[in-house]
Amino acid sequence: MADRKIVSGTADFTIPKHATDAKTRDVIIKLPKADKYDVYQKDFPANLPTAGYIWINNFGLKERKKDAKTPNRLVETADTDPYADVVDIYTIELDDVEGKEPVYFDGKAVQNFPSKKTSVGNNRVHVTLALGDPPIGWPHP
């Protein structure tokens, strides 16, 4: 699967599960501002540690640039633009796994989210992050 831009009319972006991987799940990215970043669904990176983890989705944020002709307007990103490393804090909504805290991969190591999961009902939880390119998942139950 090539990187795919996710389109949303709001600040909430639903990243669908990968069609070819039954372990993946839908996640919702809730940005503080709808027009500052474009959201892309991505393949999992080749160096993603698989022992001990179930990876449920991977996405990346690209920061929009100011329009040269109209500085108050932001221009959509292109496929060739780089993914942002550090971004404004945003919320990720995902399915809960009882008794476990979700994790993300920062490109070098698996990390716990800086915030503990918060239940939002319907077996869904919220966590926050400021990394623009994270695969997310859970430790094996």
What was the pLDDT predicted at 65? 87
Cα separation, 17 vs 21, in Å, equals 8
Strand pairing report for 135-139 and 103-105? antiparallel
Name the domain count of the chain: 1
The mean-pLDDT minimum among 39-43, 71-75, 100-104 falls in 71-75
| 87 token code pair | 């971004």
CA-CA distances (angstroms) from residue 75 to 40, 63, 116? 16, 9, 34
Could you list the residue range(s) of the whole structural domain that residue 131 is in?
4-139
Percent of the chain with pLDDT over 70: 99
pTM of the model: 0.91
Residue 6, classed as helix, strand or coil, is: strand
Q: What is the pLDDT of residues 29-65, one digit of tens each?
A: 999 988 899 999 999 999 999 999 999 999 999 999 8
Element (H, E) at 28: strand 27-30
